[in-house]
Structure 1
Amino acid sequence: MKKEILISIIIPVKDGDYWLDETLYAIKRQTIFYCAEIIAIDSGSTDSSLAILENHSVHLIQVDPTSFNHGLTRNIGVEAARGEFIVMTVQDAKPSDEFWLEHLLNGFENDANVAGVCGQQIVPHDLDKNPIEWFRPQSPPRIKKYYFPGPDKFENLSPSEKRSVCGWDNVTAMYRRSVLLEIPFKKTNFAEDALWAKDTLLKGYSIVYNNWARVYHYHLNEPEYVLKRSYTVFYHFFMYFGFKPKKVQNDLISMIRNAKVLILEKKLSVADKFTWLIYNWNLRKSINQSVALFLEHCSLGEDVLSQKHNEICKSVPAAIKPKTISK
């Protein structure tokens, strides 16, 4: 007898064996996994990802890697899903506790107009992850709901306000399947989630942010990766919301602030603290290089900007397995 499916969890997969087993076990430990299914969409993995997926008995969909698209490929999973609710996540994100699905689902309570609920990414206190980004909450989790009674109310927001309201995140998000069928993800190689949030708000639906629904997610970044990923983020948020980035602070004051944070972390050796201090300096340097490059191209017009984006970001920046990268 097949179990009753309420929630379908969709995970795009590509050479994710470093993370995948742990991610799937964490999902299966969810308190309400008994009414859930996992759909993995693999786009040409050549590592042991397929064997891991088979071991976990997930519903596997395979697509040609040349046809992968962050928006359209996810729509394939939605079409195949049996659940009333759809969860989007990624192969290297792990629920922080066993209540992740519950927290996402709770965001739909008593409001049929809620189209989706988005959680929060956090970075665990692991020695192989940037200590400056470790999760250090300053206040309890908050729940926010956004709704605009007419499209003009949203369009009258400033670019930064639009960007903030549509800070949607397919690393940890739940949707009504009926709404995803009505408003599917658009063809795009980045920020399909933010664009969906915009389209959904313009249609008169509500969206909810529930920071109780947390996942561990982290990328250790090399300069080239940072420059390309930052550029494509800037490009898409400018095209969607008219939002332009500003340079991040990267001077002696910012280095001193980082040093103070690192000094207080007793888990780190002196050598590690120094390594991470330099790492964060170079990280901010790469971001600022990307900002400067983007603003230069942006000043030349959208046609030139799009051309430069295609040249710089020929392929979608992807997470690098930690064991293959050096700080």
Structure 2
Amino acid sequence: MTTPTVSVIIPTLNAEGEIGPLIQKLISQTLAPSEILVVDSSSDDRTAEEVDKAASSDGGACVRLLKIERSDFNHGGTRRMAADRTCGEFILLLTQDAVPLDEAFIEHLVSPFSDERIAISTGRQVPKSDAVRYEQLVREFNYPRESYVRSSADLERCGIKTYFTSDVCCAYRRSAYEELGGFPESCNTSEDMHLAIRAIARGWSIAYAADAAVLHSHNLTPPQQFRRNLEVGYFLETQKDLLGGISETGEGMRLVRSVASQLLSEGRAGQLISFFIDCSARLLGNRRGRLIAKKEMERA
């Protein structure tokens, strides 16, 4: 069996302290990438110099830097452009702050592709040591320790969770990616879900590889959570037809009940209050995003 070729794509912005160590971790993998493409949005720091330094001693992987204007960055379009500039059998998307937990990360992430039905394989996000308790529990809810595969047969049981993927650490079978038309050109969030929805509709399956783990979490403030979920709400409203009427509400309530129950059992009253504030920011942002989308569609 031939060794699979993997192209890694990492969008960056002011990643001076992160990108060098991340590239070194990737190069030292048991399944090393055949190429690493860093797409930098005109960073103000030494991100470009750190990438150049890694490229000069890349240990076999072809490390390249592509600079774009910050104003030109778009979650879907930029990743699409980057994917078109790579050639590996599998396209691996990472964010600059997602740190592989071990040297078998890539091997574990592409392992599900031995099943020819798998189009997408997404990894597990383990919260960082500085994550607040409710953020740890949210990650544990969304990223369990058990792997699974989902297809259209799971839509009734799993709902929107059937499409669960994240470009924080996610791999795509290039042949499936191209068959599906790639990432949307203009999409400022959830480009991963957009592709996952189309994959499921075309008969492909999506794998969650729990052994392919990265350290990744954020302690977002309520305003940050509001803005993030405004984008998500906008996406969900504009893609209602693509989603076929599937709602995220049920899954969201299961998450809230799970996290709140655990915080209560641990006696963390302060964290419970913070969690409900966080949830309120998510809900308000989602509703605001949906309202903006509805008004835009009415005017169109």
TM-score of the superposed pair, with normalisation by structure 1: 0.73
Aligned to 1:236: 235
Q: Which among 292, 298, 304 is matched to residue 295 of structure 2? A: 304
Contact in 1 for aligned 2:188/2:231 (Cα 8 Å): no
Match of 1:53 in 2: 51
* CA displacement, residues 104-163 of structure 1 (integer Å, 9 cap, x when unaligned): 121011x32321211111113x2x332343479799832322233xxxx68xx46x9442
Residues 2-13 of structure 1: pairs in structure 2 closer than 5 A = 6-13=5-12
Q: Is the 8 A contact 1:87 1:172 kept in 2?
A: yes
Unaligned runs of 5+ in 2: 56-62
Aligned residue for 2:79, secondary structure, equals helix
Q: 2:193 aligns to what?
A: 194
- Residues 232-277 of structure 1, C-alpha deviation per residue, up to 9 Å, x if partnerless? 2233234433425467869xx9499368276xxxxxxxxxxxxxx7
Give the aligned partner of residue 133 of structure 1.
Answer: 135
Q: 1:220 to 1:20 in 2, by over 3 A?
A: farther
For 1:115 and 1:249, how far apart are their aligned partners in 2? Answer: 30
> Highest Rg: 1 or 2?
1
Q: Give the alignment partner of residue 288 of structure 1, picking from 280, 289, 292.
A: 280
Aligned match for 1:172, one of 169, 172, 175? 169
- Specify the SS of the correspondent of 1:232: helix
Higher normalized helix content (fraction of residues): 2
The answer (yes or no) to whether the contact 2:15–2:96 under 8 Å persists in 1 is yes
Q: CA RMSD in A?
A: 3.3
| Kept after mapping to 2: 8 A contact 1:7/1:85 | yes
Do the aligned partners of residues 64 and 172 (structure 1) sit closer, same or farther apart at CA in structure 2, a change above 3 Å counting? same
| 8 A contact 2:234–2:286 mirrored in 1 | yes
Show the counterpart of 2:40: 42
Residues 123, 134 of structure 1: 8 Å contact kept: yes
**Aligned amino acid, residue 9 of structure 1:** V
Number of residue pairs matched by the alignment: 276
Instruction: Flag the 1:288–1:69 CA change in 2: closer, same or farther, 3 A.
Output: same
Q: Which sits farther off after the overlay, 41-50 or 284-293?
A: 284-293
Q: Compared with structure 1, are the counterparts of its residues 293 and 225 closer, same or farther at alpha carbon in structure 2 (3 Å cutoff)?
A: closer
Counting aligned pairs with the same residue, the percent is 25
Q: Where in structure 2 are the equivalents of 1:213-252 lying within 5 Å?
A: 213-240=212-239, 241=243, 242=245, 243-245=247-249
CA contact (8 A) 2:39 2:65 kept: yes
Letter aligned with residue 50 of structure 1: A
Letter in 1 for 2:232: V
Aligned-partner residue type, residue 234 of structure 1: G
Provide the rounded CA distance (Å) in 1 between the counterparts of 2:297 and 2:274: 27
- State TM-score, norm by structure 2: 0.79
Q: Structure 1 unaligned runs (5+)?
A: 263-276, 308-327
1:5, 1:82 within 8 Å by CA — same for their partners in 2? no
